[in-house]
Amino acid sequence: MFDKIRNVLLGKSLKTEELKSEKFNVFWGLPILSSDAISSVAYAGEEILWILVPAIGIMAFKNMLYVALLIVLLLFILMFSYRQTIDSYPKGGGSYIVAKDNIGVTPGLIAGSALCIDYVLTVAVSVSAGAGAITSAIPELLHYKLIICLIIVVIMTIGNLRGLKDSAKLFGIPTYLFIISMIVMIVVGIVRVKVFGYVPKPLEVLPDFSGQITFFVFLKAFAGGCTAVTGVEAVSDGIPNFEEPSQKNAKKVLLILGCIAFVLFAGISYLATMYQAVPSLDRTVVSQIALQVFGNGIMFYVIQATTALILIMAANTSYADFPLLLSIISKDGYAPRQLCKRGKRLSFSNGILFLAVAASILLIHFKGENHYLLPLYAVGVFISFTLSQFGMFMRFVRGKQGNWKHKAFISGFGAVITCITAIVIGVTKFVHGAWIVCLLIPILVFIMMRIKKHYNKVADSLRLPLDIKPKKMIYGANRNYIIVPIDTLNKSFLKALNYARSLTEDIIIFHVSVDEESTDKLKKRWEEYNVGIPLTIKRSPYRSLLGPLVKFIESEEFVMGPNDTITVVMPQFVVKKWWHHALHNQTSLFVKSALLNRRNIALTTIPYIIDE
Amino acid sequence: MFDKIRNVLLGKSLKTEELKSEKFNVFWGLPILSSDAISSVAYAGEEILWILVPAIGIMAFKNMLYVALLIVLLLFILMFSYRQTIDSYPKGGGSYIVAKDNIGVTPGLIAGSALCIDYVLTVAVSVSAGAGAITSAIPELLHYKLIICLIIVVIMTIGNLRGLKDSAKLFGIPTYLFIISMIVMIVVGIVRVKVFGYVPKPLEVLPDFSGQITFFVFLKAFAGGCTAVTGVEAVSDGIPNFEEPSQKNAKKVLLILGCIAFVLFAGISYLATMYQAVPSLDRTVVSQIALQVFGNGIMFYVIQATTALILIMAANTSYADFPLLLSIISKDGYAPRQLCKRGKRLSFSNGILFLAVAASILLIHFKGENHYLLPLYAVGVFISFTLSQFGMFMRFVRGKQGNWKHKAFISGFGAVITCITAIVIGVTKFVHGAWIVCLLIPILVFIMMRIKKHYNKVADSLRLPLDIKPKKMIYGANRNYIIVPIDTLNKSFLKALNYARSLTEDIIIFHVSVDEESTDKLKKRWEEYNVGIPLTIKRSPYRSLLGPLVKFIESEEFVMGPNDTITVVMPQFVVKKWWHHALHNQTSLFVKSALLNRRNIALTTIPYIIDE
């Protein structure tokens, strides 16, 4: 039943060999891995204006272009820096790997946990922004915003559990639609003013401040706009998902992504300046521009719809990359091992489900308002950017190969810039929520280290030295004691008893007497039945069944050689309906979990199936 | 750690022999088993006035006395009827037993489930009424009413888990305080008017209706006042809790209870008539009387406090009786067996916890307002009263012993009266909540029957015919195949392997190959180790470990005689900290639960303890 539902939702199981066919080419790789980076263009310009307009009024539009140019510069520095990473790390060079390899384990874990947090935040922020776009378009749905968010998460989770390629087709198209409609808007917007002489009518005419822009305001605006740069990491993290030659394809995608982001971001910033769009809580900057360029017609709604869609799809970048990152961390032993197992459809199901649950918790806690979520965002990205590029810098400096000075300069320069940005973002957004991320990163690093420590302990405890030779087994040299607990003489007990009798002659039939009456009854029936094994009866004044058994095993009554084994054989009822479990005492489960702590014991379950 | 907390809260474990000393005498039996009945006096009169005052104005006070007299009559009928039940059922004669014995299983289950529902409701209603009394006295606590309710439930639950006698002392005193302060109030109230000529000043002077009371209004008033009668059942249900001679003691308690209830109910009704207390949402009738009798002094607050306390303690009747009833039903096989086990402190812990959880759910759902809970109440009680007395009637008619006609008349008359009352309550309260109870009773009866059916099936499946003789065991006649799954060659596998080797020579080392690389590594190490047993390797294209194992066992490759057994031996990691469990795949648990459905298999767990 459950399997059937799963098959309908997720499709049939896939063989491990089919892994290759699940990878994507440049055409599908672009929308999957870049929707996060491209979609952030939709709100990055607005973020800049939110800082500049209250501070310097109409001067904001002029300064916005400088800030935007600086961010585009940062984007290109990052792009070139990451192209170098792709060259050096063909198997996927996320910040985690690069930092761990070139700086050390702790920086690697810091980068890893910063990225993990940001992937979860990307899902929450993008989904809530997308849901916000939907509810702004259809105000009747405003009350169901959180439910819409959660439905989107569920749909995306199912899509991703189905597998990589299917999800590429499902989620890739909106990214292209967004890119095309944005380019159309930019072209039409420029042509309308420059060629047809349209005079823009801004919603609100700004007062003419005489004040000059301060350095701090400029930095804040820069920090706000830096959301445009998030998502670049995704491509170099996702190299193994590409078709061969995967490195080349990834570099291609990164280059295309950089160009598209440049065109869109610069274009929208230019339009914003030209059309004097003032940020407001009611209307996004992009929608203000679209309204002026196209009027209240079909194209306005197309822009709105594709913006909403790409924001939702941006979350998909995390769905593609977060599980992969977790699987890499988990292979290194810093995260639970289950996270590096591929599910029935070859996706890392556990990572996908973990992401979905974590994002849902964030969405529920913040009531689906991306407003409250945004201050947490971007700090993590820039911390990992810095560590990754500093790692690459160290690599080139140590390696000293080829034109290493040139390469080291690019990475080092990138590291310095992103480090400054991280500090700026951290300081300006600290009280608004960035402190949560700053607190969470060391906690995650600590947990990861504890997990590694545990796995190391387990590995030490399990390791078999290569020179150890197998034991010689001499039959009869050691004895196998089998204890079969009995409550009443019935068929399930008999099944356990016969199993024991087929294995050994050292059988102890153990009865815990809670009340005299039933014990006497058992004694009588046992004598009548006459197997030839005496009953061992222990009284239990406190009505516990377990206590007397443990005491008996530990007592001097029970003499064992050093190589002897004790097996406790217990029948377990197997019932057909789930609620039937509640009707049985599950004594055998309690006995088993209590005896598991003993070194010299084996616990055998004999299933006894109750037909119905 | 958990054990320590439990010991502090609940006291040390008690031996089964100490059961006798946990029983109570008449002095403690009265408050424990009658607080429900006595406390209902506090609101029964008010319930009558709520019906009469809006219908017939000032005439209500005259008619109230008639209604009260009728209810007192009903109380005495019930008392005598139940004294007969105590005589016939020395081991506790709740409606469930009496109805089952004398009418049939279904009526018994109807009575049983009606009672169960009402015990839960008693806790919820009384606790919320008590909390309401507290919050009326201290209005600052009004917002925490639900929390107060839940705290009361928790305290009572712990008290009752500690054991019967302790709880008697803890909960008995308030009942006596209430009785005494009520008697004082009645005496002072009468003396003040009759001897000192005080002229009562009612809060509100009622208009003088000329209207006559209709039969339907009279019936409604009667139905409302019948809450005074609830709780009588408790004594006959609780006979086994009394010291020897338990029947005699129970009858004594019932008689004293009847007299006290009569005195208090008649007295309060008389005072209400005399002082013309008008029911209102702000002030209870009892508090209005107390205010006039004593003025706004210390005695007024004593009355308020003891009323609040006894309302809370009334819930304790259910704590004493509900688990006992459940244990009886569960011994008959109509409820999960765990409910008839005594806990460490000799109380029926599971029943107590079940009651606490069910009442808490009700309280949370109804936000701690007994206002919403009251319409559900009393229907169940009167259904079980009717069935119980009708059962006794049938018993006397069938038995025809002694002065059976006299006895049958008492029970039969009681049955008719309570049946009418049940119908009146059901009809007048149906839409306000009684429908829930009317729906729940058949559902519970259905569930109980299904449970019994399951237990019968299990018993049939387990029953060993008396003439069956034990199997002859010829060693070597049958083979024990042991399958030891291997993932990597490590110490935990070796422990399982050596255990298997000590039992049999028919060992299959089973490896599921998920990726070639690790399989090749294992093969190589296995050859080097050289135990002399070949590896059985199966590929798993879908990455499932379980599938190939099940397939192998079912395949023709695996030839077994009819008396041969297969044992799957798997090591299980035993970790010290709870969170470590999340770090292991728990494969062995999945394998075990999947293989449990097979008839011819044994599943052995070898604990492997990871030291830390």
Q: What is the pLDDT of residues A430-454, one digit of tens each?
A: 887 888 888 999 999 999 999 999 8
* DSSP assigned state of B542: T
Q: Enumerate the residues of chain A whose CB falls inside 8 A of the CB of residue B483.
A: none
* CA-based nearest residue to B612, from A104, A148, A461: A461
Task: Report the share of chain A in percent with pLDDT over 90.
Answer: 18
Per CB-CB distance under 8 Å, the chain A contacts of B446 are none
Q: Select from B455, B499, B567 the Cβ nearest to the Cβ of A583.
A: B455
What's the confidence (pLDDT) of residue A210? 57
SS3 category, B607: strand
Q: What is the pLDDT of residue B281?
A: 63
DSSP-derived secondary structure letter, A244: S
The alpha helices in A463-542, defined as continuous H runs, are 491-503, 516-529
B476 near A CB under 8 A? no
For residue A605, list its beta bridge partners. Answer: A570, B603
Query: Chain A residue closest to B345 (CA)?
Result: A542
Find, in chain B, the residue whose alpha carbon is nearest to that of A528.
Answer: B466
Of A315, A327, A331, give the one whose Cα is nearest residue A241: A327
Chain A contact set for B342 (CB, 8 A): 543
Q: Give, as one character, the DSSP assignment of residue B24.
A: B
Rounded CA gap, B395 and B428, in Å? 32
Q: Tokens representing B420?
A: 């009418």
Measured CA to CA, the distance from residue A385 to residue A422 in angstroms comes to 9
Of chain B, the end-to-end C-alpha distance in Å amounts to 19
Q: Which residues pair with A604 in a beta bridge?
A: A569, B604
**Four-CA torsion B102, B104, B105, B108, nearest 10 degrees:** -50
Q: State the CB neighbour count (10 A cutoff) for residue B591.
A: 18
B595: nearest Cα among B536, B547, B544, B535: B547
As a whole number of angstroms, the distance between CA A499 and CA A569 comes to 8
DSSP one-letter code for A243? P
Please tell me the distance in Å from B19's CA to the nearest CA on chain A: 11
Determine the distance in angstroms separating the CA of A294 from the nearest CA of chain B, rounded to an integer: 53
Peptide bond preceding A107 in cis form (omega within 30 of 0): no
Nearest residue on chain B to A515, alpha-carbon basis: B16
What does the mean pLDDT of chain A come to? 83
Cα B138-B143-B149 angle, rounded to 5 deg: 80
At residue B74, the pLDDT reads 86
CA–CA min distance A100, chain B (Å)? 22
**Model-level pTM?**
0.72
Query: Which residues in B230-242 are b (16+ Cβ under 10 Å) and which e?
Result: bbbbbbbbbbebb
pLDDT at A21 over 60: no
Q: Is residue B351 a contact partner of residue B339, using CB atoms and an 8 Å limit?
A: yes
Out of B502, B580, B610, the one facing A473 most closely (by C-beta) is: B502
Q: What is the DSSP letter of A212?
A: P
Three-state DSSP class for residue B480: strand
Whole-number pLDDT of residue B19 = 56
**Among chain A residues, CA nearest to B606:** A602
Query: In this structure, are strands B601-609 and A601-609 parallel, antiparallel, or unpaired?
Result: antiparallel
- In sequence order, what are the residues at sequence separation of 6 or more whose Cβ sits closer than 8 angstroms to the Cβ of residue B477? B563
Please tell me the distance in Å from B251's CA to the nearest CA on chain A.
Answer: 30
Distance CA A241, CA B562 (A): 52
Would you say residue A113 has pLDDT above 90? yes
Residues of A in contact with B458 (CB under 8 A): 573, 610
Check CB contact of A492 with chain B, cutoff 8 Å.
yes
Q: Are A384 and A322 in contact (CB under 8 A)?
A: no
Size of interface A-B (CB pairs under 8 A): 178
Edge-to-edge strand ranges of the sheet holding A601-609? A535-539, A507-513, A480-486, A565-574, A601-609, B601-609, B565-574, B480-486, B507-513, B535-539
B604 to A605: CB separation less than 8 angstroms, yes or no: yes
**Residue whose pair of structure tokens reads 């509900």 in the numeric block:** B322
Q: Which amino acid is at A286?
A: V
Name which of B462, B530, B608 is nearest A491 (Cβ-Cβ). Answer: B462
**Contact flag A499-B471 (C-beta cutoff 8 Å):** no
Check: CB of residue B99 under 8 Å from CB of residue B273: no
Chain A: closest CA distance from residue B458 (Å): 6
Rounded to the nearest 10°, the torsion over CA B589, B595, B600, B606 is: -20
CB < 8 Å to B611, chain A = 457, 461
Read off the pLDDT of residues A243-256 as tens digits, 9 standing for 90 and up.
Answer: 888 888 888 988 99
Nearest CA in chain B to A17: B541
Nearest Cα neighbor of B241 from B313, B160, B354 is: B160
- Given A466, A575, A583, which is nearest B451 (Cβ)? A583
Could you report the per-residue pLDDT of A326-356, keeping only the tens digit for each? 888 988 999 888 877 776 656 678 888 999 9
Which amino acid is residue B305, in one-letter code?
A: A
**Does the CB of A342 have a partner CB in chain B at under 8 Å?**
yes
Nearest-5° Cα angle at A464, A461 to A469: 140
Nearest Cα residue to A79 out of A225, A224, A231, A221: A231
Q: What is the pLDDT of residue B117?
A: 92
Range 525-544 of B in CB contact (< 8 A) with A: 528-532, 541-543
Residue B592 tokens, joined? 């075990």
Q: What percent of chain A has pLDDT over 70?
A: 90
In the 8-state DSSP scheme, what is residue A602? E
Provide φ and ψ at B486, rounded to 5°: -130, 140
Q: Closest partner residue to B462 among A490, A542, A567, by Cβ? A: A490
Distance from CA of A520 to the nearest CA of B (A): 16
Cis peptide before B31 (omega within 30 of 0): no
Burial class (CB within 10 angstroms; exposed 0-12, middle 13-18, buried 19+) of B201: exposed
Burial class (CB in 10 A: 0-12, 13-18, 19+), B208: exposed
Q: Tell me the nearest-neighbour CA distance from B578 into chain A, angstroms.
A: 12
* pLDDT of res. A9: 64
Quote the pLDDT of residue A1: 57
Any bridge partners for residue A569, and if so which?
A604
Task: State whether residue B589 sits within 8 Å of chain A by CB.
Answer: no
Count of alpha carbons within 13 Å of A70, Cβ hemisphere only? 19
Q: What is the pLDDT of residues A72-84, one digit of tens each?
A: 888 888 888 888 8
The DSSP line for B376-399 is GSSHHHHHHHHHHHHHHHHHHHHH
B428 residue type, one letter? T
CB interface of B with A, residues 321-340, below 8 Å: 336-338
Task: Return the ∠ at Cα B311 (arms to B307 and B315), rounded to 5°.
Answer: 160
Q: How far apart are CA A250 and CA A239, in angstroms?
A: 6
A329: left (phi over 0), alpha (psi -120 to 50) or beta: alpha
Q: Which residues in chain A are contacts of B338 at CB distance < 8 A?
A: 585
Helix (H, G, I), strand (E, B) or coil at B482: strand
Nearest to B541 among A15, A595, A606 (CB): A15
* Cross-chain CB nearest to A454 (options B469, B531, B580): B580
Q: How far apart are CA B360 and CA B380, in angstroms?
A: 19
Q: Work out whether strand A507-513 and strand B507-513 pair parallel, antiparallel, or are unpaired.
A: unpaired
Q: What are phi and psi of B488, to 5 degrees?
A: -130, 155
B292: tokens are 């006039």
> Would you state the pLDDT for residue B139?
67
pLDDT in tens, B58-81: 788 888 888 888 888 888 888 888
Tokens of B23: 């029983």
Tell me: pLDDT of A594 over 70: yes
Q: Would strands A480-486 and A565-574 be described as parallel, antiparallel, or unpaired? A: parallel
Q: What does the pLDDT average to over A78-98?
A: 84
Partnered with residue A603 across adjacent β-strands are: A568, B605
Spell out, as residue ranges, where chain B has pLDDT lower than 70: 1-22, 93, 136-137, 139, 163-171, 203, 207-211, 281-283, 343-347, 371, 474-477, 585, 612
- Residue ranges of B 59-118 with Cβ closer than 8 A to chain A: none
Each residue of B140-169: b (16+ CB within 10 Å) or e? Answer: eeeebbbebbbebbeebbebbbbbbbbbbe
For A513, the closest chain B residue by CA position comes to: B16
Task: Indicate the pairing of strand A535-539 with strand A507-513.
Answer: parallel
**Cβ within 8 Å of residue B73, ≥6 positions away:** none
Is there a contact between B607 and A598 if contact means CB atoms under 8 Å apart? yes
A7: closest CA of chain B, how far (Å): 14
Q: Do A480 and B503 touch (CB under 8 A)?
A: yes
Per-residue pLDDT, A604: 92
Q: What crossing angle do the helices spanning A26-39 and A246-275 adopt, rounded to 10°?
A: 40
Q: What letter does residue B245 receive in the DSSP assignment? A: S
B451 vs A contacts (CB less than 8 Å): 583
3-state helix, strand, coil in chain A (%, to 5): 70, 5, 25
